[in-house]
Structure 1
C-alpha cells in the first residue's frame, strides 16, 4: 500500500475500515509529518500530539467503525474553541485564552469519529484574506514558500496541500475557505447558509460565516461536509439549520457519481466592480478558459453572463465587516496595543457605526441577495475565476493603512464575498497551474441548497484534469 498521506481521505477511511491501518497508526503517521515538515510551512499554531494519540486509541477501541470519519485526522481552525486547548484566534490579545468548553463544530467532528491533531493557523480574528499575523509565523504556500496561503483558513489549506492532514474544516465569512483553497491548489466548499447546523450562518451578523471543508478531491470534500451536516448520533445542542439534518441524501454519493448535464453561466463580473478597479490576471482568465472548455466538451450548456451595476454593495459590506470587528474584546489602551493595525482600524470603525448605519447596511445586502439570485436563476451554476490574481507574495499587504489594505484584499478576492452575502453554496476547483507551478482555480456558484450539483460538476472536471495527483515539493528542516 502507498504511504497513507499519498491516499485520498476516502481511501484512507476505506483502509481503516478494512483494518489495513489503525487510527493510532494513521495519527502517528501524520504527527510525524507535521514534526518534520511544518516548521517550514506554518500550518499549525498548536500541535496536541499526546491528546491526539489518546483520542486515536479511544476511537479505535470504543467508537463504531460506522462513524463517518472513523479514525481520520483533522485540525481545528484556531477560531474554534476546543476545551483545554489554547484558542488564540490569531491574536496576541488572546495568547493566554484556554476555553473550558468546545464549540459545536468541534463537538460534531468528534462525534463523527475524527481525531484532532491541533489548531491550524489563522489571521487575527479571521478578518483578513491572508494568514500572516503577528501572533505566529505566516502560513506559507507549499507550492512556493515565498508566497502566502490566503486566508483566513490558511493554515488548514497548507496542512492539506502539504499532506499534513487528509482534509480540514475551515470557516468562510467572505471567502475564507475558498481563497486559501484556490491559492494552495485544493477543493474548497462553502455550503449554503443553514446547511451545517453547528456553523450555519443563521446566527452570524449578516448571515455571512459558515463552516466548510478543504480537501484534495471533490469526494474528500463531500466526505467531510457530510460529517459536518450529520455526525454519528445526532448533533450537539442549540443548533440552527434550514432543514433537519438527514433530510437530504449524503452528498458523498453525488460526488462519487458525478452525473448530470447542466446549464452554466460564465461570469467575470463581481460585486466590487463599481467600487474598486478590478483587474483579472491572464493566469486567472486562462484557468477560467480551461474550465469552460472542459465543461463544453462534457456537454454542458454555457452562456456568458454579467451582473447589473449596483453601487450599494461595497459600502454595505464594508459596514458589516467593520461591525463584526466591533465586539473584539479590547477595552483598554494596553489591550488595543496588542492588536494589529488592520484589526484596530476595523474595530474602531465598527464601534463608530450607528444603529441606523447597521440597519441600512443589512437591508442593502438583503436586497442584493434577492437581486443576485433573480439575475442568475436561469443557471444551475455560475462559473467565475476563483481569484483575480496569482497567489500573493508574503508581505504584500499594507500593514499601516487600513483603507489600502482592504482595497488590496478586494482586488485579490473580488469573487468570493458576494456568495456569503447571498447565502449560496460555492466550490473552488484547482483546474490549472501557472508557468511557475502556482495553482489557479475557478469557482462554481450554485443555487440555494445546490451542493450536490456543484459536487457533481466538480467530480466531472476532476476526472478529466486529475488535479489530485499534483503534489507540491516537500520542504525539509534546514
Structure 2
C-alpha cells in the first residue's frame, strides 16, 4: 500500500474527498516527516503545527458535513518565507526580521487557503530572496536530497527541498530571476515561473520591473497545474493582469489536451559572460530536443533571447531591488555580505542610470518576444551546472565574486523574468552521479496552457514521479 507521501497532491485530495484519508492524519504524517528530516535538508524556517492541525480538523469536518470541497481540500503545503501569513513569523531569510509577525495575508495566501491547501509553515529562503542558493542565519542550509553535500539552489530552495524529500506534496515558490526553476532543477521537480500578472503579488508588493512572480514546485505537472487553477487571478490594484483562460477551461484540463505539433526553438548559448554549460548539461539538452522530435514536434535552432549588454542592465535592476530593502544604514550592517554589497551597488546608481536600466530591459523584452513570436515554445537548460557543493559560494573571495558564480550557474533563467513569459522546469535527466538536470520550456506571453499541455505529454511519455532520493524512504 502506498504511503501518504507517495501520493500526488491531487491523489491526496481525491482520497480525502472519498474519506479514505483524514486531513488530520495527512497533516500529522507530514509534520512527523518534517520533525525527522528538516534539520537535514533545511526545508522550513518556521513550522506551525498547532495552526495546521486546527485547519486540518476544520477540513475534516467539512468532509463529514458533505460540504462543497475545493480542488485541493485538506492537502498540506508550505508558504515561502518571503510571503506574509497573518499571525505567523515571516523572516524574509534575515536576522533583521527574525521576530517579525505578519499583520496580514498576501492575496496568494488567501487564494491557496480558499483552494483547500493547509500550510504547515514557512519554507526556507535566502536573505530577502536575492541569492540563487538558500543559506541564511535563521534556518539550516537548504540542501538537495539527491546529495546532501550540495545546495538546493534558491531562492525557493526550502520549498524544493521539502517537496523532493517527501515533507510536502506541493509548495509555493517565487521567481524573480530563476528562483523557482533553479531549485526545481536542483531537486528533480516540476517548477513553473508564471506569466507576469498571472498570480497576484498583492496587497503590498509592487515590482516596477515586473521581474518577480509566484509559482508552484511539485512532483507532477498535474499538481502544478492544479496550483495554477486555485492561485491565478489579479488582485485589487495589481499593475499587471494576465488574461484568464476562456470560460470553462482550466490549467488542469489542459493536461489532458494533446498539444498538437508544436514549432519549438532551441538554443544552448547562455549569453551570460563567463558561463559555460557542462558537457552533461549539453548532452541532456540534446537528448531533450531529440525526444521532442520523437513526440512529433518540429525543433530548430534560434538565437538566444538577449545579448550581454542586456545582462548588464538586468544586474543594475537587480541591485535596485536590494536598494529598496526598508532598513537604515546601521541595520544594513547586520545583513549578509552579499545583500550589503547588492544594496550598496543599487544605492550608488543615479536616477538616470536606474531609469535607463529599466528602459533598456523593457526594450530587450520587446525584441525577445518579437524574435520568438513564430515559435510555440523555446527549450534551453535551466542551469549550466549540476547542483553546487555547499561551500561553492561561501568560498568566493568577495560578494562580487559570489554574485558572478551565481550568474554563471543560473545563466538561462533571468531573460524570461525580463520578458514576463511563462517557463517551466522539468526533471528529464540525471547526471552520471545521479544529480538532477532540469530542462526549461518557455511559452508565449501568458500561454501557460500550451506549456502545461506539452509538459503533460512529456511526462506521460517519460514519467519521473516514482524516482526518489534515499531520504524519501526514511
Same fold (TM over 0.5): yes
The unaligned stretches of length 5 or more in structure 1 are none
One of 355, 380, 386 as aligned partner of 1:384:
380
The worse-fitting range, judged by mean Cα deviation, of 397-406 and 52-61 is 397-406
Match of 1:350 in 2: 346
Q: 1:121 to 1:383 in 2, by over 3 A?
A: same
Equivalent residue runs for 1:374-453 within 5 Å: 374-398=370-394, 401-453=398-450
C-alpha distance after superposition, 1:261-304 (max 9, x if no partner)? 201111112342xxx12211011112112211211111100101
Match of 1:15 in 2: 15
The worse-fitting range, judged by mean Cα deviation, of 305-314 and 206-215 is 305-314
- Separation in structure 1 between the aligned mates of residue 466 and residue 377 of structure 2, nearest angstrom: 26
- Separation in structure 2 between the aligned mates of residue 311 and residue 287 of structure 1, nearest angstrom: 25
The unaligned stretches of length 5 or more in structure 2 are none
- Separation in structure 2 between the aligned mates of residue 240 and residue 113 of structure 1, nearest angstrom: 27
Match of 1:281 in 2: 278
Match of 1:46 in 2: 46
Q: Does the residue aligned with 1:90 lie in a helix, a strand or coil?
A: coil
Equivalent residue runs for 1:166-185 within 5 Å: 166-185=169-188
- Separation in structure 2 between the aligned mates of residue 132 and residue 62 of structure 1, nearest angstrom: 39
C-alpha distance after superposition, 1:194-229 (max 9, x if no partner)? 111346999313110000010001111101111111
Q: 1:286 to 1:195 in 2, by over 3 A?
A: same
Equivalent residue runs for 1:79-98 within 5 Å: 79-98=82-101
- Separation in structure 2 between the aligned mates of residue 472 and residue 222 of structure 1, nearest angstrom: 24
- Offset at residue 247 of structure 1 (A): 4.4
The worse-fitting range, judged by mean Cα deviation, of 257-266 and 290-299 is 257-266
TM-score by length of 2: 0.95
Q: 1:308 to 1:75 in 2, by over 3 A?
A: closer
Match of 1:59 in 2: 59
**Would you say the 8 A contact 1:205–1:324 is kept in 2?**
no
- Separation in structure 1 between the aligned mates of residue 252 and residue 366 of structure 2, nearest angstrom: 30
TM-score by length of 1: 0.94
**Would you say the 8 A contact 1:290–1:431 is kept in 2?**
no
**Would you say the 8 A contact 2:393–2:405 is kept in 1?**
yes
Equivalent residue runs for 1:174-213 within 5 Å: 174-198=177-201, 203-213=206-216
- Separation in structure 1 between the aligned mates of residue 68 and residue 33 of structure 2, nearest angstrom: 25
- Separation in structure 2 between the aligned mates of residue 426 and residue 199 of structure 1, nearest angstrom: 22
- Separation in structure 2 between the aligned mates of residue 204 and residue 40 of structure 1, nearest angstrom: 34
- Separation in structure 1 between the aligned mates of residue 222 and residue 125 of structure 2, nearest angstrom: 25
Q: 1:166 to 1:460 in 2, by over 3 A?
A: same
Equivalent residue runs for 1:54-453 within 5 Å: 54-62=54-62, 64-198=67-201, 203-229=206-232, 237-239=236-238, 241-243=240-242, 247=246, 249-272=249-272, 276-307=273-304, 310-333=307-330, 335-398=331-394, 401-453=398-450
Q: 1:62 to 1:13 in 2, by over 3 A?
A: closer
- Separation in structure 1 between the aligned mates of residue 300 and residue 341 of structure 2, nearest angstrom: 41
